[in-house]
Each structure stands twice: as C-alpha cells, then as structure tokens.
C-alpha cells in the first residue's frame, strides 16, 4: 500500500488535442473537511488507509495542494438530453485531477465533482450540494455491492460553503473513480461539429487504453460499437433485475465502458411498479423504469450515428453495418435479463416456459403492490408461507406458486442448494430513498455523518444476513412515499 506521494499519477487524456478538454485548477471549498473515506475503493489504487488521517489529505484530494502528475481538466462532450440534442455540455461541475496507474498496470481516473465552475458550466457555479453528494457516494457503492458495473467513490468532502439551489445548502465534493469517464456524448460532440479527425482520435484512444484487442479486428470502430452495445445491454439488464431506475438516461450519462454513470434522481423499486418514475423533473415519464431498455437502444443509436464517419471503409455501407449491430442490442438485453431472472428464481436450466413464469409473477406483484426486493429475498427461503403472506390475493399467488413448483421439479432442484444460490443472487438490502434521506437529514441538520458510514458498510454486503441492520430489510416507512428527487438531487 502507498502514500499519496507514492501514487503514480499521469493523465493520458492530455495527450489528445485541446478540443477535448479545458485545463483548469480546482476551486477548493471553505473550511473543507473529510466526511467519509471508502477503503475498498482506496484499495483499487493501492492507497494506504492511514493516508485519510493526514492533516493535508483533504487539501491534496481537493487539488488545493497538488502532487506531481496532477494535470487537472474538464472534459468536453455533448449529448441528447430528454431526447433533444444539446450541442455542447461537458464537465460543468467535475474536474479530472489525473489518473493513477497501479503496479498491475490498471489506470483509474480521479475526478472531483463539485470542484467549481469550468468552461462548460453554462453560467452555473460548478458546485455540488451535500445532499446529492451523499446520494452518489452511497449508491455507487451499493451498485458495486450488487455486482453491477459502476463508477466508484473514494471519499466525500464537506464544507461551510453556501450553495444556492431551491434553497441555500452546504457545498460538498465527491472524488469519483472510474477506468474512464468517456461518454457516448464525447463521440457525439465531434460528430456534430464535423471534426471527424478528432472523432477518430477519440475512438483510437478508447481502443488503445480499454479495448486493445480490438486493434486486430477488420474494422476496430465497428468492434468498438459492438462492445458498447454488449456492455450497455448487459448493464441495463442488471438494472432491471435489481429494480434500479437511473432517472436521467441522457446520452451524455452513458459510459462507453458500460458503467453506471452520474447518479442523480435514481431510485430502487419499493413496491413493484413497472411505470415507476424516480425523477419528478421527468414529467413525460421518458425515463420510467420499464422504458430503460428502449432508452438504452436510443442512446446506442446516437452513438452509432456518431461513429458513422469511421465505418465508411467496410464493404457494406456504414449505416447498414451500424444497424446490423444495433439489432443485436435487444438480443443481448433479453438474453441477459432472462438469465438474471432465472437466477433470481433459482432456476439453473433454460426452459421455454420461464419467461411466462416470470411475467406472471411480475403481474401479480404489480396487482398487489408487493415489495420487489423483499419478495425475491423471501422466495429464497425454503418455505412459501412468508412469500404468500406478502400478497392480498393469496389464490393468485398459489396459482403462480404451483406452476413454479412444477418448474423446479422439472430440473430436480435441490431445495437447500437452490436457497443458498438465491440468497447470493437476491439482495436483502438495497439503498432505498428513505435510507439515503436519513443520512442526508443527519448530515445537514447536525453535521452527523455516522449514518453515511453505517450505510456504506451495509451496502458493501447486500446479500449477507446482518443482524444489526435488520430494520433496513423491512418495508420502507409510510413517509418514504413523500420523498421527491429531481435532476438537482
């Protein structure tokens, strides 16, 4: 493990032309202080845990005191927001400090969110509030605990800086980590500005640093599109399987590496409701839970459009090649989602009736407003009675459960083995909105950050039985239904 000075900092993104980014320093906060430090994330960059106790840790992490290799910048991109193309977006409140190269040769972006205005802030202050910072810090770790590809968060910094939103709030910063923060919108920017030479440079950069095996493909750029299609299809299938709604699936919030990126007005399902809209700013329900797979296809079509100038040297036309690859998205998604849902039901073989069995369960869950996470965790036990008690229409459940038992019998399923497998697949704990709200309330009212660290530990092991956290495995309190989150969250 290393000290901060021993970390090997570099920034490969600065090898690209100046059109890709804007160099600038961070803007530290007033009386900034460490709120929480995430050791599992620190392990990824080989950072020793004692470093978080240093008096100058926050100054270094915030960019107030720089280290050799820091080359801070804001990345330029555009994107489709709520279906409409916005010509230039970019990192309006995030600054990439640099990259840490580990002894194993891995590179991790260290990006500071809430670090002040950039060239792309469009008149805004470039700050993040404590409320939204807590939400991203906790959810990125929750998603990782669930085994879903995501950015990570090394630490969270608080301050006395006042930030003006709907009301005055405390400013905060999040140090986010990812192998790359390149987005679909990064490609769109150079396509729509007709800078095709820069478009090629960006594609080459991603291939070189993240998919070097694609260099040997007949058309590496088509292979890159295929990689994005596969990664995105599998990612959204994973979201759907755990009941996660992103809330703002704009193309600039889609990672070229298939990571969950930019946690704003997200939400996990409580009762099963396929029409669930977690973002109260989404008045048309564009990003409702059940629309996420289709929005994934739309965003991939935006990426494919942006890559068209690089596909012209293949035998068929670029559009035909792109469309052929895009048609694979639904196949990837459906296959992975079906696989995940079979696993949630403890089914080891694939049979023709599986989709109907799953659809039937979802239908009766929706009708009786059954809690999605609790139901699947309860089914992971070896008795049906607890699951049956979650339904109002017991006869409807009995009907489904009879079909389920026949399906299990068809593969000679062993009850104990199945139960063990299901408990490793169906989480007992998810980050419900009310849980994040409890942490936010304590932090904002009393500067009490204990709930943040408490939830962080819980969410790192969501499949485990944790007696001290049993209250979080229960249905949410009645007041949870009044929580409203929007793009400012």
- Express each pLDDT in 391-402 by its tens digit: 999 999 999 999
Q: Which one, of 469, 471, 477, 444, lies nearest residue 135 by Cα?
A: 444
More confident residue, 414 or 343: 343
- Give me the chain's average pLDDT, please: 94
Using alpha carbons, select from 294, 402, 398, 403 the residue that is nearest to residue 355.
403
Question: Hey, CA dihedral for 4, 7, 12, 14, is it positive or negative?
Answer: positive
- In terms of Cβ atoms closer than 10 Å to its own Cβ (0-12, 13-18, 19+), residue 217 is middle
Q: What size, in residues, is the chain?
A: 489
Render pLDDT for 293-324 as a digit per residue (tens, 0 to 9).
Answer: 999 999 999 999 999 999 876 556 777 888 88
pLDDT of residue 381: 87
Instruction: Give the C-alpha separation, 469 to 473, whole Å.
Output: 7
Mean pLDDT of 460-465: 96
Three-class DSSP category at 455: helix
Summarize the confidence of residues 401-428 as an average pLDDT.
93
Residue 36 pLDDT level (bands cut at 50, 70, 90): very high
Cα angle, residue 260 at apex, residues 183 and 118 outer, rounded to 5°: 50
pLDDT at res. 59: 95
Which pLDDT value is given to residue 179?
Answer: 97
Closest C-alpha to 239, from 332, 343, 337, 361: 337
DSSP-assigned beta bridge partners for residue 2: 47
Q: What is the value of pTM for the model shown?
A: 0.95
Residue 155 and residue 116 in contact, taking contact as beta carbons nearer than 8 Å: no
Whole-number pLDDT of residue 218: 87
Q: What is the pLDDT of residues 68-97, one digit of tens each?
A: 889 999 999 999 999 999 999 999 999 999
pLDDT higher for 481 or 250?
A: 250
Catalytic residue, candidates 50, 197, 213, 252:
252
| Per-residue pLDDT, 314 | 56
d(CA 239, CA 149) in angstroms, rounded, equals: 10
Query: What's residue 408's pLDDT?
Result: 94
Sketch the domain layout of the chain as residue ranges.
Answer: 4-182, 347-423
Contact 93, 262 (CB under 8 A): no
Mean local confidence (pLDDT), 207-220: 95
CA distance 420 to 428: 13
Determine the pLDDT at residue 123.
85
Q: Which of 34, 160, 162, 154 is nearest to 97 (CA)?
A: 154
Yes or no: say if 483 and 437 are a contact pair by the CB < 8 Å rule: yes
- Indicate whether 484 pLDDT > 80: no
Report the pLDDT value the prediction gives residue 479, as an integer from 0 to 100. Answer: 87
Across 132-158, average pLDDT = 98
Catalytic residue check, 91: no
Cβ partners under 8 Å of residue 399, min gap 6: none
Task: Report whether pLDDT(171) > 80.
Answer: yes
- What 8-state DSSP symbol labels residue 382? S
The pLDDT score that the predictor gives to residue 313 is: 61
CA distance 311 to 327: 17
**pLDDT over 90 percentage in the chain:** 88
What does the alpha-carbon distance between residue 313 and residue 268 come to, in Å, rounded to a whole number? Answer: 44
pLDDT band at 266 (very low <50, low <70, confident <90, very high): very high
Q: Angle of helix 450-459 relative to helix 433-446, nearest 10 degrees?
A: 150
Alpha-carbon span 311 to 223, nearest angstrom: 10
């Amino acid at each position: 493990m290393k000290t901060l000075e021993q970390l090997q900092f570099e920034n490969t993104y600065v090898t690209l032309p100046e059109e890709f980014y804007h160099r600038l320093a961070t803007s530290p906060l007033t009386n900034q202080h460490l709120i929480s430090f995430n050791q599992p994330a620190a392990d990824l960059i080989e950072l020793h845990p004692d470093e978080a106790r240093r008096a100058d840790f926050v100054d270094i992490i915030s960019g107030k005191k720089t280290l050799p290799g820091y080359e801070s910048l804001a990345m330029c991109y555009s994107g489709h927001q709520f279906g409409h193309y916005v010509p230039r977006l970019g990192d309006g409140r995030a600054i990439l400090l640099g990259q840490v190269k580990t002894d194993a040769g891995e590179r991790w972006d260290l990006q500071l969110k809430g670090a002040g205005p950039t060239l792309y802030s469009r008149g805004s202050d470039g700050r993040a509030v404590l409320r939204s910072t807590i939400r991203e810090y906790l959810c990125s770790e929750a998603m990782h605990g669930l085994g879903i590809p995501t950015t990570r968060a090394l630490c969270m910094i608080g301050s006395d800086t006042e930030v003006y939103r709907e009301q005055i709030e405390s400013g905060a910063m999040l140090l986010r980590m990812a192998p790359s923060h390149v987005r679909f919108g990064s490609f769109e920017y150079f396509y729509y500005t007709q800078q095709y030479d820069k478009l090629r440079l960006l594609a080459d950069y991603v291939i070189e640093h993240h998919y070097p095996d694609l260099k040997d493909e007949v058309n590496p750029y088509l292979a890159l599109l295929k990689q994005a299609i596969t990664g995105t299809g599998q990612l959204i299938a994973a979201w759907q399987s755990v009941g996660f709604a992103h809330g703002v699936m704009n193309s600039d919030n889609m990672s070229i590496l298939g990571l969950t990126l930019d946690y704003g007005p997200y939400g996990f399902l409580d009762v099963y409701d396929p029409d669930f809209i977690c973002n109260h700013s989404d008045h048309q329900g564009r990003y409702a839970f059940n629309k996420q797979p289709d929005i994934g296809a739309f965003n991939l079509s935006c990426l494919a459009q942006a890559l068209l100038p690089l596909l012209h040297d293949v035998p068929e036309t670029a559009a035909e090649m792109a469309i052929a690859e895009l048609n694979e998205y639904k196949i990837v998604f459906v296959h992975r989602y079906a696989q995940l849902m079979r696993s949630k039901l403890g089914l080891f073989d694939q049979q023709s009736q599986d989709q109907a069995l799953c659809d039937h369960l979802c239908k009766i869950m929706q009708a009786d407003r059954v809690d999605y996470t609790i139901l699947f965790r309860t089914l992971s036990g070896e008795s049906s009675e607890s699951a049956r008690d979650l339904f109002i229409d017991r006869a409807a459940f009995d009907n489904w459960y009879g079909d389920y038992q026949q399906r299990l019998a068809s593969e000679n399923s062993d009850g104990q083995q199945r139960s063990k497998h299901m408990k490793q697949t169906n989480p007992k704990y998810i980050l419900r909105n009310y849980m994040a709200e409890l942490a936010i309330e304590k932090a904002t009212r009393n500067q009490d950050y204990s709930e943040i660290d408490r939830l962080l530990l819980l969410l790192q092991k969501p499949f485990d039985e944790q007696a001290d956290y049993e209250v979080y495995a229960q249905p949410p309190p009645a007041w949870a239904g009044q929580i409203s989150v929007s793009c400012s969250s």
